[in-house]
Structure 1
């Protein structure tokens, strides 16, 4: 059976401004040069960057901060956005009213005085239009089986399991033998042995090709969380909003309406006080 083809989407988030507060700064660790190891960290309403141990590396100097992608991260100071590297150097001055993440093609979308355009990593305006979105083949793990209005699944890759046709919907996650399955209005996750690793208790489970269908977002009673590589809960289903993972971090909104980031181990990178 031929593979599905999906377009990879470049992430870009429009973020809300927040008030700046004066805070006491903790002792800093030595700055790292590899921005990909740093995670945006919020303390109160101020932002810096922490290492994988949640130890502050870049100080709380920003009103908003984004993830490092292609070793660059957008930051907001007051109403304006710019870009820094993993050592905190301002590579592109804060001058934009919006700035998005850099994509694999080395482009980022910005807004300057109402004009929307793309820039390169050096901050220069790109005159040429973006090329076609890169396409990636995600191989199907098997075939759907249909019987009397229900669906099952026959694995043809990595497993010989046949899932009985007892579900109302099955979606292939294209990795690790995981399947999203629905009975009635509730979703769960099956593994390659046909066993439920996540019970049929959730209102929705969403995965995106942009990050290889990893860390799906799960919804239950208006709250959100994430799934691990094994299809089990990576986090509690407790957030008011959840964004797809980008470069091993994801932006969430807490139950109190505050933004923050989590990493691929489910660790939270913020302190509200």
Structure 2
């Protein structure tokens, strides 16, 4: 009887455990490797043991295959297109897998810039448009992508900068140079590095021992063995003091001191103390992948937020990448153990109607605004219309392919309808953190936004700071003042 009971209990236990095991197995994607998401799709690798061949394809944030694995290599999507290689030749596909640029090139860049793509046929480089036609013939020994309407090309071991028609803008009388990013190129004379603008004028004459491109308005520079950052006036806003640094992302830069990594903000303030073994990604959607040592000095990986809080469990086998659109592909055990993680910071929060009265340049204006975590959030397009026609106006655009909000200073706002229409009788609502990227004058900006009822709401002071708009608050009357005649102050 005991034997029969024991057998029954064993069978029952297996039955009970099966759903758990199935759920656990279901989270893993049946692929050997999965890359970062770009524009909603991530590349994956499928390995055929019989042929010993790896093939690349794309899947979406649900793990569903959108483009079957048939390529020898693929890049990420940019403006709806991704580079691929097949049988030794390269081209570009769209998000359906349709070949937009036929695979006839030996090498291609991974994205179009200023409407042109750098390609190589044999040992010569040129530029094609999205129809696959050469706009600038392949006559160069080397070429970079365009940036700010200018590209760097190599002719007979010499450098030159050209515009999108192929016309030389100016010669690069330097020993080395790079593409224009955020309006500047890093150039070298001898073993010293500096920066030039799009006219060829030196922002900083070559004097640094090493330098990298601007990111979010600041560029890393090295003097001796120490790194710091300069701004676009050439001023050292962060004096060289770190053993190593990475560029800024979402307002933060990783810096190394005494062999450990931490983070600073754009004022050079240390926001996360150096205590990490390594930094394994940029900040994306509020998270960055880092590693830390255990007691045996073995590194473990996990995600932290901008305050240094550990958002995921740290593990030895865990690895991942940047979040995009609320998702990242991560692994907890190497090949074959990849799964899709939703950004843990994207849980909805409570938004309460803002009770304060709002004055814009002395005139009362009705906004549908909300208080989230003690800060006032306003509908972006409402703010744009409210200051339109002043010298602090700004344009608002949205790039659906990139899921990006583009803000342009000193541009008249183009209304789309529905601005400054308060629904009346506002009640508390659920606010979901926005996953859209925010660009101000072409530079990604760390502005926090929430989506409420399909509209993006931004912190009032973030927008005011970005466009130098004065903000006041009268506590006695609970009145918020938006004054375009004033400069922004903290």
* Structure-1-length-normalised TM-score: 0.49
Q: Which structure has the greater CA radius of gyration? A: 2
Bigger proportion of residues as helix: 2
